[in-house]
Structure 1
């Protein structure tokens, strides 16, 4: 088993490192751009795993596309200085990113217990990227509502995918033994 294909690396380390690096690189463009680093890191991590499949044949394959499109829309909104791009205060930014991080981490248990390890891994990726947004809100107090939009959209997408899972999780076609309709691990 390769360390790079291990689910813990793909779900925790990769999005955290990409999001932190994106925040630091975007910091050179200004504080209002740096807050977008967590969303960009999430998109980069989703590029590595699970990847962008076109046409998306399942709801779970639409999640990276939702993250990418919402990140592009947030980038456009920040570039045009639209309403909602002004930074929140440190306290409000910490509360908003803290709640998003807690919601993403709570979302990990729902698909894991519901029978989809792919959705659990994607929720953990979301939690790691949200943790970087919370770290950035504490460090620089430059988080805006628009910069958190891609994280929120991806979280809602994961929650909808979990809600639409078949009951019992045993009618799936993929994975080991057909127990998960989305997950086909590459680390075996």
Structure 2
């Protein structure tokens, strides 16, 4: 088993390192751009795993595209200085980022207990970059509503995928020893 293909690396280490590095690299451009580092880190982590499949044939394959499109729209809004691109207050920004991170952790638990390890792993990726947004908001007091929008939309997509799973998970449709229909890890 390769360390790079391990789910813990893909879900926790890679998104954390990418989001922190991107936020630090965007810092010279200003706080508005650096706040977008968490969303860009999520998109790059999703590029690494599970990848961008086209055409997206399942709901889970649409999630990276949702993250990419919403991050591109957020970047456009920041470039145009649209409403919602001013930093929230330190307290409000931290509360919003913490609530988003806690919601992503709840989605990860729902995915793990509800029958989809892929969606649980994607939710952990979301929680990890949400944690970077919390750190960035605590350190620089620069959390923008538009920078949290890609994370929120990806979380909503994960929640919808989990809600549309068959009752009883994959075992209800394929027998007692069935695996997650979305999940085919390369580390097995």
Distance 1:55 1:171, change over 3 A: farther
**Number of residue pairs matched by the alignment:** 185
Inter-partner Cα distance in structure 1 for 2:14 and 2:85:
27
Contact 1:171 1:181 in 2 (8 A): no
Question: For residues 131-146 of structure 1, what are the structure 2 equivalents within 5 Å?
Answer: 131-146=131-146
Q: Distance in 1 between matches of 2:105 and 2:118?
A: 14
Q: Map residues 42-121 of structure 1 onto 2, 5 A cutoff.
A: 42-121=42-121
Task: Report the alpha carbon displacement of residue 178 of structure 1 after superposing the two structures with TM.
Answer: 3.1
TM-score (norm 1): 0.96
Give the Cα separation in 2 of the matches to 1:67 and 1:172.
30
Distance in 2 of aligned mates of 1:62 and 1:186: 20
Q: CA deviation at 1:179?
A: 2.4
Aligned to 1:3: 3
Shift of the 156–68 alpha-carbon distance from structure 1 to 2, 3 Å rule, reads same
Distance 1:121 1:28 in 2: 32
* SS in structure 2 at match of 1:182: coil
User: Which ranges in structure 1 are unaligned for 5 or more consecutive residues?
Assistant: none
Deviation at 1:154, TM superposition (A): 0.3
Return closer, same or farther for 1:47/1:172 CA change in 2, 3 Å cut-off.
farther
Mapped partners of 1:178, 1:46: distance in 2: 26
Q: Name structure 2 gaps, 5 residues minimum.
A: none
2:4 is the counterpart of 1:25: no
Residue 153 (structure 2) aligns with: 153
Q: Deviations over 1:80-139 (max 9, x none)?
A: 000000001111110000100111111111011111000000000000000000000000
**Cα deviation 1:149-187 (Å, max 9, x = unaligned):** 0000000000000000011112567xxx53211000100
Counterpart Cα distance in 2 of 1:49 and 1:178: 23
Residue number in structure 2 paired with 1:15: 15
